[in-house]
Amino acid sequence: MADESRTLIERLQLRFDGKALSLAETLGEVTLEVAPESWVEVARTLRDDPEFRFECLVDLCGVDYLGYGLAEWDVSNVTSEGYSRGVEGRSTGRLRFGEKPDGASPQRRFAVVIHLLSVHHNRRLRVRCWCADETLPAVGSLVDLWPGVNWFEREAFDLYGIVFEGHPDLRRLLTDYGFVGHPFRKDFPLIGNVEVRYDPERQRVIYQPVTIEPRVLVPKVIREDSRYEQAQAEQQSTPAQSAPQG
């Protein structure tokens, strides 16, 4: 019988010694990171091992870490008029198709994250797996373990372009069949790749390259507000304590 006094992290460390790339607990949530070659094996163990019994997969999603930690706005030099920064944005989502944002690219870009629930033990666990190849991100499918993950994997494939090897029906779920690109990737432009209009000469709707220029039109305005000045003045000055009346 398993020692009930051990924490979930201790159990995971003992069970997946050599397979767990990292284990962390933040704000009461445990995250287990595994390699792509151990992805399916670890997931099967988490489901079938009586010590864990994560019989429910709550969610699966893809993550794109391109531009992670890079700020779009320059906060070192601003004016009260706004529009002094970020008008010609070079961050993720502000570029043309195929362009990359300014700054260094991450060593690992795409990841797959699942959230597991053990109803028997009343525990939750987050498992993350980094895709080995950025050009063709791929991990094994978990459909054989949790059949309900079928649509989640199709969604991640559609929006991020992550391939789930062994999936029985991996095709787009939310976008059109002829859609170009994956809209949740950070280098996918917010203005899109094509636009639709009605052509009076052809008398039908046509697709054409997008003509909108990517711009950042959201100003950052610093306003003077008496409420902030009053709060700052109250913090700087400490009121004198009055002597008790005898």
pLDDT 10s digits, 160-213: 999 999 999 999 999 887 788 899 998 887 777 788 889 999 999 988 888 876
Higher-pLDDT residue of 35 and 179 is 35
Give me the CATH code for the 8-212 domain, please.
Answer: 3.30.460.80
pLDDT higher than threshold 50 for residue 87: no
Higher-pLDDT residue of 235 and 162 is 162
Distance from C-alpha of 156 to C-alpha of 182, rounded to nearest angstrom: 9
Task: Sketch the domain layout of the chain as residue ranges.
Answer: 8-212
Neighbour-count burial of 39, counting CB atoms closer than 10 A to its CB (0-12 exposed, 13-18 middle, 19+ buried): buried
pTM over cut 0.75: no
Mean pLDDT for the chain overall: 82
Cα 237–Cα 243–Cα 246 angle in degrees, nearest 5: 165
State the residue for tokens 């990517």.
214
Cα–Cα distances (Å) from 36 to 113, 148, 170, 182, in that order, read 12, 21, 19, 22
Bridge-partner residues for 113, per DSSP? 61, 128
Q: Is residue 131 within 8 Å of residue 36, measured between CB atoms? A: yes
3-state secondary structure labels for all residues of 145-183: CCHHHHHHHHHHHHHHCCEEECCCCCCCCCCCCCCCCCC
pLDDT interval class at 69 (50, 70, 90): confident
- Residue type present at position 11: R
Residue 107 is predicted with a pLDDT of 81
- Residue type present at position 19: K
Residue 180 is predicted with a pLDDT of 83
Q: Is residue 12 within 8 Å of residue 53, measured between CB atoms? A: no
Residue 85 is predicted with a pLDDT of 46
Q: What is the mean pLDDT of residues 119-140?
A: 95
